[in-house]
Amino acid sequence: MNITQGISCYPFPESYAEVPTVFIRRRDLYMTSAFREFIEVLKVHLPEAVFSEELSSAGGRPVDA
């Protein structure tokens, strides 16, 4: 596809409407303010999500919210 063809959208089956996603980052790399804000938005809108701080304080096990 090139720029003159535009963007095409296709419907997904309902079974693919939600998929688990894992974000992995290296702690020794700089975290941009945009990515930091993205993580904060996820924490607000996805309260059931498990974040690395929660895992490290629970000895590497997911914590119940």
What whole-number distance in Å separates Cα of residue 65 and Cα of residue 50?
9
pLDDT at 63: 44
pLDDT at 34: 93
| pTM, two decimal places | 0.44
pLDDT at 33: 94
- Identify which of 37, 36, 64, 40 has the alpha carbon closest to the alpha carbon of residue 50: 64
For 13, phi and psi rounded to 5 degrees?
Answer: -60, 150
Residue 46, both tokens: 């996805």
Q: Which residues of the chain have pLDDT under 50?
A: 58, 62-65
pLDDT at 62: 47
